[in-house]
Structure 1
Amino acid sequence: MDAVLKQLGKIPGALMVLPLFAGALVNTFYPQALEIGSFTTALFKEGAAVLIALFFVSVGSQISIKSALPSLEKGVILTVSKFAIAVALGLFVAFVMPNGTLWGLLPLAIIAAMSNSNGSLYVALTSQYGSKTDKGAISVLSVNDGPFLTMVALGAAGLAEFPLTALFAAVFPMILGFILGNTSSLTREFLAPGEKLIIPFVAFALGAGIDFRVLVTSGAIGILLGLVTVAVSGGVCVLLVYVWHRVRRHPRPTRNVISGAAESAVAGNAIATPAAIASIDSTYLAIQNEATAQIAAAVVVTAFVTPFLVSWLAAKQKTIGISVEAENLYHDDREQFEEIHSLDQSLNSEDVFEGKKTQVGSRAESPVFD
């Protein structure tokens, strides 16, 4: 069994993807197995919300006060970028394309899918591949959770109040973890294992809400929406996180952009957005089902494509001397970082973050701070 698990662990994002896939398979072909009741149903079918909350507490406990500001900055950049791209593409289709659709792809589906990111997958991927500031950005990214931003983009914001209580409820577990972790080192150590321990259980519960048959019923256009979301939304987020690093004059080894790629997936709760919109504005009732099907297909596609993108980008960063360890040290202890990465660092410097000699990346003639 251990040999099999080691082989499966080589799959990008395996800790999240494999349980997610398993949950979706069971839900598609034998959903009754997850509905037998008691603790089985509570854990594997209905436990996603509780597990994610515990996950956020664990993640929050590992964020230091020193890295809180960069986390907030990343979160704002990713949220604004993702929303702006979704609105731009959605309104372009609505007002420029014939009949207000693109090969049947609805503006409502575009905006709802592209503006709503998969927070649990984001945290899972950044826990495996990202830095502390990547994980901490989820506190801001929770703003795009649900239909609110879609309502704003469609001009329906006046029909609903800004859900301050709901947003606070979404980020409070992470805030609690942050307070506990920064006031007690023992608590931080106690909660640390939760970052990885909870991931497969969260993934299976989320997969238990996915039916592979939606890919057939919604057609290829929903799959296209998912691929466009990963490529366009993810690409822009990666670019703007890199620009943020340059504007803030962060040293070359710390310019980690994993968060941008991890933000490219569509959240499962985006599937409910068309219904929420239609309940407020009845003019959307006619396209509610079609938009829901398109978003559902995008959710499934991005759930499997995004981890591969993040894994590839993480490997690519290492080849050019960028590491999450460097970013973590830079924000936690800048003096130690500057001592390690002096301006005259040579091409064959020892990678002290990994504890072994490796090539850390940048060309000898290029300074670390530029």
Structure 2
Amino acid sequence: MVVPLFLGAMINTFSPGILEIGSFTTALFKEGTTVLIALFFISVGSQINFKTALPSIEKGAVLMLSKFGVAVAVGLCVAFLTPDGNLWGLLPLAVIAAMSNSSGSLFVALTSQFGSKTDKGSISVLSVNDGPFLTMIALGAAGLADFPLMTLLAAIFPMILGFLLGNLSEIARNFLAPGEKLIIPFAGFAIGAGIDFGELLRSGLIGVLLGLMTLVFSGTATILAVYLWHRIRRHPKSTRNVVAGAAESAVAGNAIATPAAIAAIDPALQAIQAEATAQIATAVVVTTFITPFLVAYVARKQKKFGVAPAAEDALFEGKLEKQSEPATEDSPTTHLSPDRELAVERD
């Protein structure tokens, strides 16, 4: 994911004309993000078992609410607890827009490589924070806009279609399975082709600060939220996978367009639109390159403690059983029934 993304950003920054020669080259490498992610959603959806659909929805809701809650809290603190209503030039609009929007394409790519099936499936709920809708609510402008229900449906329909195909036909599920890995490098390059390193110079250290704040505050909140969800649901220790929380720490590329959308509704914000846009764009660049390393670190760390995404998949698919008594630190947390042991080994 990272290497193709970095190459795409390098070419877009220093020689963008290479990707704008037209025809199939431009369609795939410059403008192909939407189509590639849609295909990726179909492949991901086809691998979600019906039994894991509810946990995916629960996890997605936990991630969305925790990320949005932190964004609102930090943004309002900047607006009301700082002398000029901004922190060293960091605007509340930029804070809320950046921290409340998650990078869906990066999220599905990272959870596909490091996470579980419920991690990938949770994107169906996380699509709600894809765009300016939650930012409008946080800024008190929700009454000026309708809930984009059709836009939301359009965003998650490919995953729903894949889910139906995969659960209705084992042949379709097996056919679509390779798409999860095959599409990742192409999608990564296309995402990178939309990043310009020059944005780092436009907003300077303020945009970098916003990116780091998003990583620290959003990443910490979402990781803790997923862990608490596991604890509340009394999932076995080996299944308390928090990769999705780390993958939710990035800023979405489409958050760059949020200030313009908000300013179109509230003209009073037009004066700060350009500055907020530059700050968010820099935060996108910063988090896009750091989040994959954070996810890899979390994945390695939890593996040392015996936590595995595969164990979480096995739990929700009924191949791993909970203990009837609460687990202690020194007691085993899970056990396999004899007739299911071989199936889990194969998985």
Alignment of 1:140-289 (within 5 A): 140-289=125-274
- Give 1:289 deviation, angstroms: 0.5
Q: Equivalent residue for 2:71?
A: 86
SS of equivalent to 2:194 = coil
Match of 2:310 in 1: 325
CA distance in 2, matches of 1:226, 1:44: 26
Gapped runs of 5+ residues in structure 2? 335-347
> RMSD of the TM alignment (CA)?
1.6
In 1, the alpha carbon distance for the partners of 2:270 and 2:95 equals 17
CA distance in structure 1 between the partners assigned to 2:237 and 2:314 by the alignment: 13
Letter in 2 for 1:324: P
Q: Which residue of 2 aligns with 1:62?
A: 47
Structure 2 residue aligned with 1:310: 295
Provide the C-alpha distance between the structure 1 equivalents of 2:263 and 2:251, rounded to a whole number of angstroms: 20
What's the TM-score, normalizing by structure 2? 0.94
CA distance in 1, matches of 2:309, 2:251: 24
SS at match of 2:84: helix
TM-score, normalising length: structure 1: 0.88
Q: What is the rounded CA distance, in whole Å, between the counterparts of 2:303 and 2:25 in structure 1?
A: 41
CA deviation string 1:177-223 (max 9, x = no partner): 00000000000000001101111111111111111011011110100
Match of 1:367 in 2: 332
Partner in structure 2 of residue 132 of structure 1: 117
Listed as ranges, the matches of 1:46-125 within 5 Å are 46-125=31-110
CA displacement 1:311-360 (0-9 Å, x = unmatched): 01100111111101111111112xx4239x898x9xxxxxxxxxxxxxxx
User: What amino acid is aligned across from residue 276 of structure 1 in structure 2?
Assistant: A
Q: Distance in 1 between the 2:64 and 2:274 partners?
A: 27
Give the Cα separation in 2 of the matches to 1:51 and 1:325.
26
Counterpart residue number, 1:356:
none
Shift of 1:367: 3.5
Match of 1:27 in 2: 12
- Determine the C-alpha separation between the residues in 2 that align with 1:96 and 1:315: 38
Q: Which runs of 4+ in 1 moved over 2 A?
A: none
Is residue 294 from structure 1 mapped to residue 279 from structure 2 by the alignment? yes
Counting matched residue pairs gives 334
- Distance in 1 separating the partners of 2:186 and 2:324: 43
Identity of aligned residues (%): 69
- Distance in 2 of aligned mates of 1:117 and 1:342: 37
